Structure 1
Amino acid sequence: MIKRVAATIINPEDAGTSFLVQQVEGQFKFYNFQVLDNQTPLASVLWKLRHEVGIDVDQLRLYDSVFAQSGSENVSLFVFNHLKIDDGIRNACQKQGLFFIPASKLHGLFESVKVSTMPAFEKLSK
């Protein structure tokens, strides 16, 4: 069974809150990928953000962690705050196909993801 993980960064601004997402086949999705070998889901997220995207993960603050279902896929979703989103961070994200999109444009994403704060223990043994 392939374990997947997803992440986003919340960016509160005067104009409204935006979220770090990727666009796949014309639809916005949270940044998601397969959990790295010999890594926890959180360690995988931090590694990818640091080494592939180029974000200083020491500046991230974990805002929330939930189990989510997107379509038929179950993922651990990590939501971060960042101390300061600047043009350097935006550019690093864009090079990896990640963008900060206003929440007002993400209704489809929010409606498509079912979130649970309780783990599905019966599925953990599979």
Structure 2
Amino acid sequence: MTKRVAGTIINPEDAGTSFLVKQVEGQFKFYNFPVLANQTPLSSILWKLRHEVGIDVDQLRLYDSVVAQSGQENISLFVFNHLKIDATIREACRQQGLVFVPARKLHGLFESVKVNTIPSFENLSK
């Protein structure tokens, strides 16, 4: 079985917190993919965000990290804060099919990912 990693970036705003996600067949999913060869899950997500999405990962701060179950598979899920989400970052994400979506629209996503402990980002979705 291929080990997978997922990641998101939270963006707290006056209107509420949004999360970086991908929309697949009408459903929101965390940005996820197989762990890269000879890399850890964390280094894989950082590499993809830097080299494929185009985000300056030096501006990311790890907010939370959990092992979650999505369907029958365990995935490492990393949640980051970014020091400044601007139009350039939003456009780089959009080109990779990633968008920032308000937490209030992501209840189905949060419910579909099961963790052994309550992740701290779950409180932000209310």
State whether TM-score is above 0.5.
yes
Structure-1 residue corresponding to 2:61 = 61
Structure-2 residue corresponding to 1:51 = 51
1:1-126 correspondence runs (5 A): 1-117=1-117
- In the TM superposition, what is the alpha-carbon distance from 1:115 to its structure 2 partner? 1.4
**Cα RMSD, aligned residues only:** 0.7
SS at match of 1:110: helix
Percent of pairs identical after alignment? Answer: 84
Tell me the amino acid that sits aligned with residue 36 of structure 1: L
Structure-2 residue corresponding to 1:123 = none
1:21-41 CA distances to partner (integer Å, 9 max, x unpaired)? 001111000000000000000
Moved over 2 A (4+): none
Unmatched tracts of structure 2, length 5 or more:
118-126
SS at match of 2:58: helix
Name the count of aligned residue pairs.
117
Highest CA radius of gyration, 1 or 2?
1
Unmatched tracts of structure 1, length 5 or more:
118-126
Tell me the amino acid that sits aligned with residue 42 of structure 2: L
Q: Give TM-score, length-normalised by structure 1.
A: 0.91
- In the TM superposition, what is the alpha-carbon distance from 1:83 to its structure 2 partner? 0.1
Tell me the amino acid that sits aligned with residue 84 of structure 2: K
